[in-house]
Structure 1
Amino acid sequence: MSSDAGPAALANLLDLLDLERVEENIFRGRSHASVIPRVFGGQVAAQALVAAGRTVSADRTPHSLHAYFLRAGDPGEPIVYTVDRIRDGRSFTTRRVVAVQHGEPVFHLSASFQVYEEGLEHQVEMPAAPDPETLRTDEDMMSWYTDRFEDPDIPARLLRARAAIDLRYVDPPPYARVGEPREPRSQVWFRTAGKLADDPLLHACLVTYVSDMTLLDSVLLAHGRGGWAVGDVVGASLDHAMWFHRPFRADEWLLYDQESPSSYGGRGLGQARIFTRYGGLAVTVIQEGVVRVPRG
């Protein structure tokens, strides 16, 4: 990929997150061309958080979100986001967002925003991880394992879809070692492929976008599965929760430390912590997804 691909892709992503205001509490968003025939879940979650944030005063930033993916989104049609202003308190603001396409809800989000305040403070220690600059880029990683993919066009399509994000795996991703069960844990460094404006909501929305990219990798690792890209698993996000603890920037390196405590009944659970490069616990993420082995 060219050196201009990342900044151009980031500009396109920022344009997608700049929703059109249809009415006071109604917004409309567009979609990327997707690697799979549905809208990327992280995009819908990020756009829904943008819609919620557009109805909240600037002194309040997101501190949590809880979401359900209800139907597969159609990347060829716009998505309409309707915001319900549940509560505006002195310290906290709550919003509910329903994303609708073809007359049916495809996604539901509840988000809470808070005015900054002082309080008790502690956190877990950041786990050990190599510096991101010492790791292979996503493009290098895929080129190293290009023979593992079910379709030879998949690596190029994945790279185009991820071009706005500089993503670096600490250990080889699931598609690299199919048939070799490993510890259900994965670490990824990431940052946007360019600088961002100083808007905390924008940084939260971009981390929300990235949070859906790799979280269920740890489920696949436990079983030596490579995922949809190698054709040995069918999957989709079901629900997603995030808690934003401390200030961070999405255009600076963040460590996504992910693990899976359980998979059962066609579902897999991923949980993760996102740390700043200097050790601050920025975000906690939990997601459950469909993880099915294809029949026949």
Structure 2
Amino acid sequence: MTEAARAAAADPAAAAAAVPVPMTPDGVAYGQPVLDRLVALLDLERIEENIFRGVSPAESPVRVFGGQVAGQSLVAAGRTVPADRRVHSLHAYFIRPGDPSIPIVYEVDRIRDGRSFTTRRVVAVQRGKAIFSLSASFQLDQPGIDHAEPMPEVPGPETLPTYAEQVGDYRERIGGMSAVPRPIDIRYVTEPPWLARETGRREARNQVWMRADGKLPDDDLLHVCVLAYASDLTLLDAVLARHGVYWGTDKVLGASLDHAMWFHRPFRADEWFLYDCASPSASGSRGLATGRFFSHDGSLVATVVQEGLLRVLS
């Protein structure tokens, strides 16, 4: 990462002074300049052969966003793998809350380099302790049997209101990620959870259209890492929707516990994709959510499973 890119990632306010940044009606930055900062966040500094360092944006919540540390870990793994091998799966655990005020060190263990598959393990470290661990597998492109579930029938993203329009006067109550710059354009297909809690919808399902809010470079690994980042934005909403509660509007304490993704087909993260999420179960202060990513043409490109800690306080 260049010094300029690192500075832009760590200090968006300074970057905004250099590059005009569009603002939503609710006063939140969006568009290509914000997406460029996400790309800069994912462009890790290499400090040794298998050791990398990343930073967090200044507007981070009190702890590092899970999608950020997952995306950065995948970048670290991918930087040690030949370019002709695509990541096909990752399995990760969130161990401790990350501190956004200090850098994160990513240590890569080169587990295996086989003829078709390459396996890497990454541990993210702050203050000498692991905050996150990830195992990722990469594979040479190979022909084989092919089938996929069809995409649900939903309205197109262009027909739906923007996230800013849907949040409206709720932004102050929701807080959290709704108040930080938005590198991902999100359009809710199902009723947004902050509205569903008031209208009485109790379906354990959440559907949104997403895309990187700008143009990304032609880098397959980067597109996968941006999808990993986006996968943590709305997944647990499917759990909360079933119970009519939501972050900020209710006393909900939550954190990602583990996260798994399988990448089935090539895609571009700067083109529209449908994120279809559901929750099969919640118990013991934990909620399980599954997600399917479909490209705009209906191809199933990735599958996600996450369990989150969810405590609803009275």
Partner Cα distance (1:72, 1:249) in 2: 30
SS at match of 1:39: coil
Structure 1 residues 60-99: aligned runs within 5 Å: 60-99=85-124
CA contact (8 A) 1:240 1:287 kept: yes
Instruction: Write the letter of the residue equivalent to 2:173.
Output: E
Q: In structure 2, list runs of 5 or more residues that go unmatched.
A: 1-21
Establish whether residue 115 from structure 1 lines up as the match of residue 140 from structure 2. Answer: yes
Q: TM-score, normalised by structure 1?
A: 0.93
Deviations 1:173-206 (A, max 9, x none): 2111325242111111000111111111010000
CA contact (8 A) 1:34 1:40 kept: no
Instruction: Write the letter of the residue equivalent to 2:228.
Output: T
CA contact (8 A) 2:276 2:292 kept: yes
Partner Cα distance (2:218, 2:143) in 1: 21
Partner Cα distance (2:57, 2:31) in 1: 15
Question: Cα distance, 1:224 vs. partner?
Answer: 0.6
Structure 1 residues 39-50: aligned runs within 5 Å: 39-50=64-75
Question: Cα distance, 1:229 vs. partner?
Answer: 2.2
Question: Cα distance, 1:33 vs. partner?
Answer: 3.1
Match in the other structure for 1:198: 218
Deviations 1:54-91 (A, max 9, x none): 00000011000000000000000000000000000010
Structure 1 residues 1-296: aligned runs within 5 Å: 2=23, 5-34=30-59, 36-143=61-168, 146-147=169-170, 149-150=172-173, 154=175, 158-161=178-181, 163-179=182-198, 180-226=200-246, 228-295=247-314
Question: Cα distance, 1:150 vs. partner?
Answer: 3.1
Partner Cα distance (1:147, 1:194) in 2: 26
Relative distance call for 1:252 and 1:202 in structure 2 (3 A) is same
What percent identity do the matched residue pairs reach?
Answer: 58
Q: TM-score, normalised by structure 2?
A: 0.88
SS at match of 1:150: helix
Q: In structure 1, list runs of 5 or more residues that go unmatched.
A: none
RMSD: 1.6
CA contact (8 A) 1:28 1:80 kept: yes
Q: Would you identify which runs of 4 or more consecutive aligned residues in structure 1 move more than 6 Å?
A: none
Instruction: Write the letter of the residue equivalent to 1:178.
Output: R
Deviations 1:69-128 (A, max 9, x none): 000000000000000000000100000000000110000000000010100001111111
Range with greater deviation from structure 2 (275-284 or 179-188): 179-188
CA contact (8 A) 1:31 1:75 kept: yes
Range with greater deviation from structure 2 (177-186 or 12-21): 177-186
Partner Cα distance (1:183, 1:193) in 2: 29
| Aligned residue pairs, count | 288
Question: Cα distance, 1:149 vs. partner?
Answer: 4.9
Partner Cα distance (1:130, 1:83) in 2: 42
Deviations 1:224-247 (A, max 9, x none): 112x22233111100000000001
Deviations 1:148-167 (A, max 9, x none): 7537xx28x62434x11111
